[in-house]
Structure 1
Amino acid sequence: MTKYANKKAVITGGTIGMGLAIAKRLVEGGAEVLLTGRNEKNLQDAQNELGAAAHVVRSDTASLTDIAALGATVEETLGHVDYLFINAGVSELGPVAEVTEESYDAQFSVNTKGAFFTVQRMLPLLREGGSIVFTTSVADETGHPGMAVYSGTKAALWSFAQVLASELVGQGIRVNAVSPGFIDTPTMGVAGFTPEEQAYFRAIGDARTPMKRHGTSDEVARAALFLAADATFTTGVKLPVDGGLAQHVAAPAE
């Protein structure tokens, strides 16, 4: 399979879950991929799984110093970028009354500030005909209890995507977003969950999602790659991958 032959991609947060699923499909299709992460075990596991076509780089999206270094690494390693996937993210849940400044800053630093400045650093490397795909969330437009800060970070991310789409269209660069709902990933998208909490969260997701199941990382990857590579007359669009959750699709009668 050579669908992505001669293409070069950067994926932030690419060592596990949805980011890794995107990387797998790109590598299988013949692309050269550079992906980032922070956890040393995940970095090594991703390198072992993806092989020589992948450049796995330790980089903290919350650090502007790391972002600057990442830009230099991408320039030296890939030279240019066809597809940029802004996928790194963190979620810490809790009611508004219990949110700490530390938690607030941590989520905005990764999900919003880090995403913004990563794109800014990569812009000179994106070539005409390239594309950016953000991973936002169904939470960016819904008011689920306990998700105030996380929802705010993702709503800001979607706003960035819309503005970038209008700013970059004249350069031949498309900007879109995928909006996942409840997706099966190693962390279930929430930092610090115990296995019991993950099981409870999974049950809630299955109950609330009209399709009555979680999505897979690969289902998100296929949607992200559609926007990146196939949707060549599409920009400024957010594609839900949520089993009908945000669209309030009626669940079938029991």
Structure 2
Amino acid sequence: MPSDAPVGTCLITGAASGIGAACAHALAARGAQRLLLVDSNDDALQALDPGGDVTRFAGDVCDPALWEQIEAQAGTIDRAVLNAGIAAGGMIADTEFDDWRRTLGVNLDGMFLSLRSTLRKAGDGASIVLTASVSGVKAEPGTAAYGASKAGVIQLARVAAREAAARGIRVNAIAPGGVDTPIWDQTLFFRDLVASHDGDRDKALAAMAAIGTPLARFATASEIAAQILFLLSDDAATITGTVLVSDGGYSL
């Protein structure tokens, strides 16, 4: 599909908010024939209305039973945005094993199951984008579990690209830096930062962006969605097995 062409059936995980919701709206606007939307937050998933033919699946992406259900109902998948993930932070010496496993479980095990089912249902010439993170590229203190999971996502995309190339299926990853999404609100350090800015979330985000990001701004979810749609489109027809780092220069 050229960048302005309609698309067929599109799967989006982590669809109820942030980058996933922005992708759902963008793909619906592009003329997607059917959207398969997956999220663990059933209320938010039901509230999301991007328009068009939508099938919703509420559940945990690291539950194999969810993917059995999706495979049974999906039909042929033409485009996929595998985006579900959770945030985590903490120094290695202070990280509980259960917290480590939970992060790796959702971000990497869940990504494996999502990708496996997508490849099983993908038509020849399909295109898939996995949401990684600049934390999988650049090491920072306190990001061991999250960074390791996202580094794994990047390598998973590369291996999948090699395996699927014979069918003309392209698999890429995007590694955003700071993006204004609800995932920040899951982290203790960001809640503390918001509190230190008198509860003003926008000011807290601006303060973070000003430190270590050369462009001194974070992306919006819609900006990242537009970059994902480029990777999904035929305008990126020779791009596979790559990771697009979109971080405002943070990793420089």
Q: Shared fold (TM-score greater than 0.5)?
A: yes
Two-structure CA RMSD over aligned residues (Å): 1.9
Pick the aligned partner of 1:128 from 108, 124, 145.
124
% same residue: 32
**Secondary structure at 1:131's aligned position in 2?**
strand
Match for 1:125: what amino acid?
K
1:185 pairs with 174, 181, 186, which one? 181
Structure 1 residues not aligned, in runs of 5+ = 249-254
Aligned partners of 1:180, 1:127: CA distance in 2, in Å?
27
Residues 60 and 66, structure 1, Cα contact 8 Å, conserved in 2: yes
SS in 2 for 1:51: coil
Alignment-derived partner of residue 14 in structure 2: 13
Q: TM-score, normalised by structure 2?
A: 0.89
Deviation at 1:201, TM superposition (A): 5.9
1:244 corresponding residue in structure 2: 249
Q: 2:93 is matched by which residue type in structure 1?
A: A
- Answer yes or no: is the 8 Å Cα contact 2:87–2:183 preserved in 1: no
Ranges in structure 2 where 5+ consecutive residues have no aligned partner? 195-200
State the Cα distance separating 1:63 from its structure 2 match. 1.1
Alpha-carbon distance, 1:186 to partner: 2.1
Q: Residue in 1 aligned with 2:37?
A: 35
Question: How does 1:85-124 map onto structure 2 within 5 Å?
Answer: 85-124=81-120
Runs of 4+ in 1 over 3 A off after TM superposition: 189-202
For residue 231 of structure 1, what is the aligned residue in structure 2? 236
Q: Cα offset for 1:4?
A: 4.6
How far apart are the structure 1 equivalents of 2:133 and 2:7? Answer: 30
Q: Which has the higher contact order (CA 8 A, sep 6+)?
A: 2
Aligned residues: 240
Q: 1:117–1:187: structure 2 CA closer, same or farther, 3 Å change rule?
A: closer
Comparing 83-92 with 32-41, which one deviates more in the overlay? 32-41
**Secondary structure of the residue that 1:175 maps to in structure 2?**
strand
Query: TM-score of the superposition, structure 1-length normalised?
Result: 0.88
CA displacement at 1:41 relative to structure 2: 2.4
Q: Contact 2:184–2:190 at 8 Å: present in 1 too?
A: no
CA distance in 2, matches of 1:35, 1:157: 20
